Amino acid sequence: MREASRAGVPYIVAPQGSLEGWALNRSRHLKAFYAYTIERPYFDRALAIQALTEAEAEQCRQFGIKAPVSVLPNGVDIAAVDRYAGEHDLRTQCGLPPDSVLFLFLGRVFPKKGLDILIPAFARLSRETKDTHLLIAGHDGGSGYLRQVERLVQANAATRRIHLLGEVAGRKKFEVLRGADAFVLSSYSEGLPVAALEAMACRRAVILTRNCNLSEIAQCQAGWIVEPTIDDVFGALREAYTSAGERRRRGENGRALVEQRYTWARIGDESIRFYQSTRFAQN
């Protein structure tokens, strides 16, 4: 932004979740000083702001940005998702009984992802049930946070019911998504989580906190939207566990939502219109 401004080159900014409250509150005083004194003037000089969601557009306004804001979400390549379709026996691969109910977390193993909520919530469910398992797929990028997650699993006496798969990618990622019964992301902060969209594209019901900024899921009954608390996540896990039919119904609704709103073909068309209108406005 600085160099474009110095060179007199018009620019558009995509905050990508960086203005979300949780993100700004990390190292709060330093970030606040930098954001308000250095970043915001450059935001104001932008031709436009490209927000991922209506929630992020509102965050831009609350931040005091004067540039116009348009919403362009992340997307999913449906053809790529379907290319990996097929039967995959995740239970056999993980050494689990064939009638197990599998909940899946897939993403970066990082404090903001809310594993400190999900693990005790699932541990509570595991004490009420005999056939539930939680799979955690992802890496910590060398931060060391995975060790904290392992200690949290041990502290909740859930080592036999929670399984750390490590990073999965490509075909393996979609095999894991299709092999699970429901996807869970109990995050404190997100821009727009692609993993949740990919889970819905795989016809999997999702359990998300409101911080994931996908409120349409509740409206379309594609999953459960909850507060980022142990009690709320536990309640959604228990409700999802209770009915396989309801999980399937919400999974189909999620696929329909992705097809209607979150395909790259649609978002590509929206992006072209956005950049053309911004260019004409600048001229």
Verify that 69 and 135 share a domain, yes or no: no
Nearest to 234 by CA among 157, 105, 116, 124: 124
pLDDT on residue 31: 60
pLDDT of residue 34: 67
CA distance 80 to 193: 18
pLDDT tens, residue by residue, 201-214: 999 999 999 999 99
Mean pLDDT (whole number) for 48-59: 92
Q: How much is the average pLDDT of 86-95?
A: 83
Q: Is the pLDDT of residue 280 over 60?
A: no
* Tokens 């036999």 found at: 160
Residues 101 and 34 in one domain: no
Say if CB 250 and CB 223 are below 8 A apart: yes
Range of the domain at 149: 78-261
Q: Which of 146, 124, 132 is nearest to 232 (CA)?
A: 124
d(CA 121, CA 92): 25
- Residue 64 CB contacts under 8 Å (≥ 6 apart), including other chains: 40
Asked whether residue 190 falls in the same domain as residue 54, the answer is no
Residues 257 and 271 in one domain: no
Query: What tokens appear for 234 in the block?
Result: 């536990």
Same domain (yes/no): 112, 228: yes
Helices (H), 85-185: 90-93, 115-128, 145-155, 170-179
Q: Are residues 124 and 52 in the same domain?
A: no
For a pLDDT cut of 70, what percent of the chain falls above it?
A: 93
217-241: average pLDDT: 97
pLDDT at 63: 86
User: What pTM did the predictor assign?
Assistant: 0.89
Residues 168-188, mean pLDDT to the nearest whole number: 94
Nearest-10 Cα torsion for 208, 185, 195, 105? -140
List Cβ neighbours of 247 (8 Å cut-off, separation of 6 or more): 181, 182, 204, 205, 240
Instruction: Give the residue-averaged pLDDT of 253-282.
Output: 89
The answer, yes or no, to whether residue 27 has pLDDT greater than 60, is no
Which tokens hold the place of 56?
Answer: 């992020």
How many structural domains compose the chain?
2
